[in-house]
Structure 1
Amino acid sequence: MKAWILLCMALMLPAGVMANETPKEGEGAAPTVAYVSLTPPFVGNFALDGNSKLRVYKADVALRVTGADAVAAVKRQDPLIRNQLVSLFVQQTQDSMTGVESREKLRQEALKQVQQVMNDEEGKPIVEDLLFNNFIVQ
């Protein structure tokens, strides 16, 4: 019976030791990818010129970053990022807000502008990608 208990304890020891040796971020482990949702969603008007009627959009935006420091930096700059994206969305026309190719161009432009904000404020682009989780135009 004692031999059985000792064998069980010996088998459990390596698992317990390995569980405590998992590398933490910054100690050789790959940094984790995170998606930071910009909440609340963007809702506003566009195409306010005299020739077209008022249009409304709603955009749920998420930013892909790597590491906890990047998440904190995005949250610090959230108001400036939101301002830049609102300015971009307001300048759009019906054609640039609809269609797959047009939305992809808009997404790429939004990513460039967010990266520029982060570069100006934090010294590096930080944001790797920008995703539209939901994009509605009426």
Structure 2
Amino acid sequence: MAEEAQPAKGGSKTKLIVIISVIVLLVLGLGIGATLFLTGAFSHKADKADKAHTEAPAPKKPAIYMSIEPALVVNLGPDQPVRFLQIGIDVMAREQKVIDAVKENMPAIRNRLISLLSGQKYAVVSTPDGKETLRKQVLASINEVLKAAGDQHLVEQVYFTNFVMQ
């Protein structure tokens, strides 16, 4: 009978080791699972990538450029140290309709730009910020002329290709 009791003690130790091992594995598994969940490893990255790919905007059309020729030359006010401003301007659009509208309305555009440019002050347009502000005003002036003519498509950008003050 003593012999039968000893295997029972060894069997209970084995059961205890198995139970502790299972508990340790469960705790480790839960810890790893919780970590992965909190870091977002279980989120559907593939679904998000597919949604981002399908919701991307259509690629832009290539740019079309047109120079306003001849360059604009205006007199600055008599109290200015610089008397003349010569400025070359290119317009950029992505549709030929816009370029055609600019060509059709060129007299009105040139008139609006000459009025805008002749009112500038040397101290303002001689700085980089002043030139950028002027570029934005030129863009707005061209688009105002196009809107007044009933065009729905507008110029996207204008660039100064020549800027001389004397």
TM-score, normalized by length of structure 2?
0.60
Distance 1:99 1:128, change over 3 A: same
Q: Which residue of 1 aligns with 2:16?
A: none
Change (3 A) 1:122 1:31: farther
Please give the alpha-carbon distance, in whole angstroms, between the structure 1 residues aligned to 2:128 and 2:60.
34
C-alpha RMSD over aligned residues? 1.8
Q: What code does the residue aligned with 1:45 have?
A: N
SS, match of residue 149 in structure 2: helix
Q: Is the 8 A contact 1:81 1:114 kept in 2?
A: yes
Whole-angstrom CA distance in 1 between matches of 2:160 and 2:131: 9
Partner of residue 94 from structure 1, selected from 116, 122, 130: 122
The answer to whether the 8 Å contact 1:47/1:94 transfers is no
CA positional deviation for 1:67: 1.7
Look up the match of 2:110: 82
Task: Give the TM-score normalised by structure 1.
Answer: 0.71
**What does residue 25 of structure 1 align with?**
none
Is 1:116–1:125's contact at 8 Å kept on the other side of the alignment? Answer: no
* Between structures 1 and 2, the one with greater strand share: 1
Percent identity over the alignment? 26
CA separation in 2, counterparts of 1:68 and 1:125? 10
Report how far residue 43 of structure 1 moved. 1.1
> What corresponds to 1:119 in structure 2?
147
Alignment match, 1:109: 137
Unaligned runs of 5+ in 2: 1-58
Flag the 1:102–1:39 CA change in 2: closer, same or farther, 3 A: same
CA distance in 2, matches of 1:100, 1:52: 19
- Secondary structure at the aligned position of 2:75 is classed as strand
Q: In 2, Cα distance between the equivalents of 1:125 and 1:94? A: 33
- Give the structure with higher Rg (CA): 2
Aligned match of 2:101 in 65, 68, 73?
73
What SS does the aligned partner of 2:145 have?
helix
Q: Does 1:44 align with 2:71?
A: no
**CA separation of 1:68 and 1:106: change in aligned 2, threshold 3 A:** same
Relative contact order: is structure 1 or structure 2 higher (C-alpha 8 Å, sep ≥ 6)?
A: 1
Which letter maps to 1:46? L
Change (3 A) 1:67 1:94: same
Matches of 1:56 and 1:67 in 2, distance apart?
Answer: 34
> What is the aligned residue count?
108
8 Å contact 2:88–2:160 — kept in the other structure?
yes
